[in-house]
Amino acid sequence: MAMDRETVLAAFRTATSCDAEAAAYAPGRVNIIGEHTDYNDGFVLPAAVDRGVAVAARRLPGDTFTLHAIDLGHHCSFARGALEQDPRHPWANYFKGVVWALAKRGLSFPACEAVITGDIPQGAGLSSSAAYEVATVLLLETLGGFSLPPVEIAQLAREAENGFVGVACGIMDQMASVFGQQGRALFLDCRSLARTTVALPPGLKLVVVNSGVRHSLAASSGYNERRAQCEEGVRVLSTSLPNVRALRDVEPDDLTRLLPALSPVVAKRCRHVVSENARVGQVISAMKAGDLGQLKTLLSASHFSLRDDYQVSCPELDLLVDLALAQPGCQGARLTGAGFGGCTVNLVEAPAVEAFSRSMMSAYQKRAGRPAAIHVFEPSAGARVI
């Protein structure tokens, strides 16, 4: 973990001149494959990364919470009984959302003064928001003296994002943050929440390249719009396929046969999700077999599908993928996260990482006129009380 306990507790002391009573940490995640499949009850393959968000707190009497966002230099207060979004402090909505979701379940916990800090890039598609929510659930659970099953921690964190923040995300990010494992990716069925872990092929590193194009899911109507388009696809397809409850239930052959019944845009959205679900299983098979050629083909196909059928890429992400695929030692590249900006994920042979990073930064600066940030991540353990 990049953020150790002492760093977090020292940050609390600096901000409040008091000692923290509890602290929790949750990692961000990078999704290797399975993009926009989670809210369609599908399959995903994320890995928790060794960067995340930590939250530390001390109890306060009364019903007013005080939050300090150390990295932003902002703070705010809010009353438990008056939870509403504050456009001046959008960063506080994730904490408020967790307070709201816990209260809805009748769970009792004290008001507190909390400090939030992290070392994961925000707005980069690496799930800093899910990490923040999961860490907050663990923190308030500790202060409240109750214990939730890990799956419920992930579900509560998602509920905060769906019901309070207003982003109709699936559960992948929160599950990856809770159930991450050192050195392994998480294969997750987003309907049943059944999960297994998969080792990365030996000698491959997860290299994430940040395009510098910031995205905000809540501000991006494109995300919620695509979710609605998928639901429209299910509505139409289920008239011919009565067992279809989500796009996860649609076989590629059935979709090909029924595409003419869908509007052109909805057809494209469905084609991406159905093909992407199939690719997740194919990527796991390629990883287990050590078939790097197949891995590269599948990750590229995922990106092209996100670019052309789901239309969530942008020129900068397309450029990064094109540049990466031309680099020696790169065994796959695609956009990761919701798209509309953010990052690409690249599987790169360990000896080539340094040259890959130098070459990518130089070529991207030249072609895009802006810098790219590069992070080499290790798949890491999930959220914990620190």
Annotated catalytic sites, by residue? 173
Written as one letter, the residue type at 120 is I
Cα 38 from Cα 158, distance rounded (Å): 12
Q: How far apart are CA 94 and CA 270, in angstroms?
A: 30
The answer to whether 138 and 24 have CB atoms below 8 angstroms apart is yes
Tokens of 365: 């600066």
How far apart CA 74 and CA 84 sit, in angstroms, is 18
Residues 6+ apart with CB under 8 A from 41: 190, 191, 245, 246, 247, 248, 249
| Residue from 109, 107, 113, 160 nearest 132 by CA | 160
Query: Tokens for 14?
Result: 């600096």
Contact (CB, 8 A) for 48 and 379? yes
Contact call for residues 187 and 181 (beta carbons, < 8 A): no
- Residue appearing with tokens 């019944």: 261
341 contacts: CB under 8 Å, gap ≥ 6: 123, 125, 211, 213, 214, 215, 314, 316, 317
- Distance between CA 68 and CA 337 in Å, rounded? 27
Q: Which residue has the tokens 């501000």?
A: 219
SS3 177: helix
In this structure, are residues 103 and 80 in contact, taking their beta carbons and an 8 Å threshold? yes
Rounded CA-CA distance 326/342 in Å is 21
Q: Could you tell me the two tokens for 158?
A: 């998602």
Task: Return d(Cα 18, Cα 32) in angstroms, integer.
Answer: 41
Maximum CA extent, the chain: 66
